[in-house]
Structure formats: structure tokens, C-alpha cells
Chain A
């Protein structure tokens, strides 16, 4: 497969690190937005190889981690219904709800299926006409086009026994909220490469000017990330607050127009709760009126009354905003491990706590 070996090359890494050391003159704090980037950094050991002036903080870019507790509980309630097949991306299955997780529901007899593509959910719906397939539609803008497409196809093909529990979140609003918060101290951002592949990066230009920060679109392989860091530091050292693109092989300024079109056709922007943080205005997608039939919350109105219970031990909210590192949590590695996760940041393969637990300790 192309781009795997080249972007994990030790020689290239050494060269980029040398360039970085030559450019940097003072401490900088950078936030990588995407959970996939966090994971790649920790898995490759890149964070240990950076010059000491650089502090990397891990942002809230893991959709599994930020899916609100309420929505997990709703998914669990739906999965427990004998007339429902709940279809979900794999990593949502171990995220703890108020009382249990989707794996436990499966063990108790709920029909819970892992899928790789939302279009598979339509297939399941066709094959099981007597049940309703509810697809747990989470993700950032990256997964939105495919999720939207599944809904468009369902409507076009007249598939009635299909609904989506929507929990999309978007990046720019999160960056705004982070920058507005006095607790968050970040000098520059590494933007999420796959979100930008879909949405482009023109949305970030006004943010660089408003908050005086560089934002560099960055990929996921170690060399990509190093490249993004180098670009960001160059901009900071030169006092240039603009958008850079260190993932040009995948990202263009205007993004992917057909993908954006299908998102716009199916979704509209709304306020959305982020787990551990609270409501961030205009930071999510919900289904448009035209597609209300496919909204699982409307199809099953009883889930709207779900009561969520909170408990104070997990600090994933603070981790997600880069305010605390996973190791600072009193439960880290003790009450909270990947086998017994207290919060989503420990469950998700891309959660910062899981990455720290797996690769550092």
C-alpha cells in the first residue's frame, strides 16, 4: 500500500527533527485535534523524539470520546429492544453508558452488530424486514458524507425499517470554544487531515486571524505529523498567523465538493453536547426535516426521556481539552484501564488515555 513506508521512514524522521531543532527558538504548545493523530504520535514514540521546547497537548478529536453520555444510553436502550438491530462502528461498543455498555447488551441478547460502512446497515435492513435497523451515526465531518449517503439511499430505495441515531460533531466550533476558554493555552493547532479532506480548510482562515494562531492541516503518519509540527513552528517563529497545508496529497482548500453537498442535503448545523465539556453552540449536525423519518429519536420517542447519571471520577473532559494529561488522573491505570474503562478516552482506540496506557506506562 502506498504511503505507508515512506511516511514511517526513520531517515526522513531524523531529517525533519534536525530541521525542527534548527528552526525552534522558544517553547511552543501545539494541539493536535484528531484522536487518530494522538494515537499515531504515541504509538510511534514521536513525542519522545521532539525537541524539549515543544509541548503537545491532545485535543477533543475523538468522536467516540465526545459522544454525549445521553446518546450512548439511548443507543443502549434501543439495542435492548427485541425489534431493533443496532448497528455501530466497533469502538462504540465498549463506551460506558450510565449502567452498562453495548457489549453487555449484546451478551444479554440484544442484536448489536459491528459494521465498517454505514451502507452495510442498509444491507442488514433489507435482510431483516421484520426488524428496524438503527445505525449509531457518530463521527466528525469525516464520517458525515458516508452516513448521509446511507440515509439518501434509504430514502431513494424506499427502505422503511432503517433509522439513524445522529451524533455528529464538527471541528471549527470546537476550536473557537477552546480558544475562548481561559483554561486552554495553545499556541497553534494541527488540524485533522481527514476532516479537512472532506471540508477543506477555508473555514479555519478567519480563526487564525481572530485568535492569532497558525493552523496547519496535518496527516496521520509519523512523518506527516512531524511535517505538520515543523510547518506550525515555522509559522509561529515568523509570527505568521495563517493556515498551512502539510497534507497536500489529500487536502485542498475547497475540500471535496460532492461530499459537502451530500452532507448539506441531509444535515443541518445545530448545537451539540460534547461529553465532558458540555454544549458547544453550532458544533454538530442533525437531520433535516426532509429526512425526519430516519431520525431514530423521533422514530422511538421513548428514548427522549432517558435520564443520565453522572459520576465524578473520570476527567476525560479535561483530557479532551488538553488541560490535563491522562497520567494526571487519579484513576489512570488503577480503577480505569482499557479493560475497565471509566470514560470514553480509555475505551476508544483513539482516546488519549488508551494511547497513553497502551504505549507508555
Chain B
């Protein structure tokens, strides 16, 4: 130990640059996960579908033999038609299995339905793979599966394939579920993360941060005066309502859709800015956040912009028709609190900048890795 304080000493150690193993931060929807995906998975599996980096992949044209009746109404002359299919997969490992406003089963259905809807697809068929931990009560599994059946009804999808595996006690977290999904993209619909243009308007479908805080509060046994509910919901109905807004120009009114899951609004805006090579500017005070979610975030030292949502989307729409899109959203039960929060700009491509509540400005970045609640 040095006797006198040394103000000119450089005393910081240099840690390992890369983790040799997977750590929790790799799953948080932030930068660490993005790096892992880019450098490991995408590099190994590289193909044009994966390169789309959308919530689901458009896997190209498929000829359908059923077609539609030709103009003379003669059903024997069925013209083949081509459809774009969307395909996606997601795994659900959430703990606790049940939380205010939802459970892992509903999440497994709605999460995948939403990823399809974010490409403008009508979700159709899902697969469901279960990894069950030895010792899981059948009653618990029953509740989860019943929820999934109900969720399928609500979303208008069917589970067409499934699988079940059991692992030894201690090798799972009760239940892990994987669902993959196929959806059909209506003709003329082209929603992709690359489609944002300067001048476009940024809209969120409702309050941010509900799901993540609901889950944290149960996981950590935190009691708030108001119970915060997860917003788990199928967004395909809302998306259909938005797609129904007729275009008045050559370009369609709706350019991009993303659901703001892990990593929150901040992650989505950054991903869109990067994919479209544009800048995004928004106003903090325009982002709807429930007062109780704000309060919980304040206490825990978390940022509502980084918190996961499971029933909210971000839309990027043509300026001229933004109001019509907004109206369509607000007329739907899941979009009642939809709000315009900002714009796509040419400046600072790839960066997202916010006007703060006091009138200053700051860069809004991807969360680094695991969200760490603040000490004091």
C-alpha cells in the first residue's frame, strides 16, 4: 500500500477482452448478444434469409396450386398464385413461469405470432417443442398448455407440430418452450427493418416497460403498491388494422415494424437505425410510460427504454399518412395509447438521439448486456 495518495498513478488492471464462456449478458438483447449473433451464428450460418435480420425471415415465393377463381367465375380454371412466406423461431426460458398478466405458455405463442406479424405476415402455423424438467408438477404443465390453447384461439393460429423432451432434475428451469412459426404475407406488403427513410415518423403502440417490470417484481419479490401487469398480447390484429390503411402514394404508408422485446424501445430503435442506415430522433416526454413503471424503474436504477415489452410495437410510417396509421392503431384495443414519439432523420446515421425532458439531448444506446440495478 502506498503511504501518500498518488494522484498521478495509473492503476487500472486490464481484464480479459473476451469472455471464454457464455455469461448471462449474452442473452439480454443488448450489445453482447448482438456481437455473439454477428460473430458466431450469422458468420457460420450466413445466407440471404438470415441476412435480413428481421423479426422473421421472408423465405421467398411459393406457388400455391389452389389459387383463386379466374375472372369468369369458372372454378375449374384455378390460376396458381405466389405468396411470400414468413418463418421464425423463438425459445422461451422465462422464470418465473407465471407472472402478473401472463405465463410462459402465452408468451410462447404470442411472441412467435408477433415476430411473424412484424413482417406484415398473417400468422398461420406454429410448432411447439417442450423441454421439461424432471419433477415438474403435471398440474403446472396443464395450466401452461391450456393457456397456450387459448392463446392460439385468440391469435388465430394452429399448432401443427410438436416435440417433448424431459431432462434430469437440475438441468432445466421447470419448462423451456421453443415455438417456430409460419405466416403468409399478403400481396404487396413489404415491411422490413431496412425500409425506414428520412422524414418518416416513429410511432409506439402503447406504454413501455410493463412486462419487464412485472417479471422483475415477481422474481425479486418486490412489492409495489400497484401490481404491475405484463402486457403479453398477440399483435397480429393490430398490425392488420394498420396494414388496412390504404396508400395514397406509390409507397405504402407502413415501412417498418418491430416488437420491443428484450432490450426494449432503445434496442429496437438502434436496430432500425442500423438496418436502414438512418438516424432516429425522439422526445423522451412523448414516450408513454405508466407512472408505476417509472417509479419502479427509478427505485431500481433501470431505464424504461431498456425494459422488455411483450405486447407493444414500434412502427415507422410515411410522414404524410402517419396520422391515419395512428388513428387506425388507436381504434384497436391494443393501440389505444399509441403515440408519435419522433422521426427518422438523415443525420447521425445509425445513432438514436433523444431530446430529454429538460430540453437537453443525449444518445440512446443499446443496453450493454445484463441490466444491472443501481447501487445508490
- The distance in angstroms between the C-alpha atoms of A93 and B372, with both chains bound, is 8
Identify which of A20-28, A249-257, A316-324 touches chain B: A316-324
A275 at the interface (CB under 8 A from B): yes
Task: Note all chain A residues with C-beta closer than 8 A to B376.
Answer: 36, 63, 139-140, 142-143, 194
Q: Which of A14, A317, A343 contacts B359 (CB 8 A)?
A: A14
Smallest CB–CB gap between B87 and chain A, Å? 31
Q: Which of A64, A96, A107, A139 contacts B22 (CB 8 A)?
A: A107
A101 at the interface (CB under 8 A from B): yes
Across the interface, do B17 and A340 meet the contact criterion of CB distance under 8 Å?
yes
B79 at the interface (CB under 8 A from A): no
Across the interface, do A97 and B15 meet the contact criterion of CB distance under 8 Å?
yes
Across the interface, do B361 and A48 meet the contact criterion of CB distance under 8 Å?
yes
Given known A-B contacts A43-B362, A99-B16, A338 and B31 have beta carbons under 8 A apart = yes
Across the interface, do B359 and A10 meet the contact criterion of CB distance under 8 Å?
yes
Given known A-B contacts A44-B360, A107-B23, A317 and B10 have beta carbons under 8 A apart = yes
A219 at the interface (CB under 8 A from B): no
Q: What 1/0 mask marks residues of chain B from 295 to 316 whose CB sits below 8 Å from any chain A CB?
A: 1001011000000000000000
Q: What 1/0 mask marks residues of chain A from 144 to 165 whose CB sits below 8 Å from any chain B CB?
A: 0000000000000000000000
Of residues 5 to 52 in B, which have CB atoms within 8 Å of A's CB atoms? 5-19, 21-25, 31-32, 35
Name the interface size band of chain B. 35 or more
A-side interface residues, number (CB < 8 Å): 85
Q: Which of B31, B291, B360 contacts A48 (CB 8 A)?
A: B360
Task: Note all chain B residues with C-beta closer than 8 A to A90.
Answer: 370, 372-375
A315 at the interface (CB under 8 A from B): yes
The 5 closest A-B pairs by CB, nearest first: A45-B360, A314-B12, A96-B15, A90-B372, A1-B295
27 A-B pairs with CB atoms under 8 Å apart are: A10-B359, A43-B356, A43-B362, A46-B358, A46-B360, A89-B375, A90-B374, A92-B375, A103-B23, A108-B21, A116-B220, A181-B7, A183-B7, A194-B376, A275-B11, A278-B5, A278-B11, A279-B2, A314-B12, A317-B9, A317-B10, A339-B32, A339-B369, A340-B18, A342-B15, A349-B372, A360-B362
Interface on A for B, CB 8 Å cutoff? 1, 4, 8-10, 13-14, 36, 42-46, 48-49, 63-64, 69, 89-94, 96-101, 103-104, 106-108, 114, 116, 138-140, 142-143, 177, 181, 183-184, 194, 222-223, 273-280, 308-318, 321, 323, 335, 338-344, 349-350, 357-361
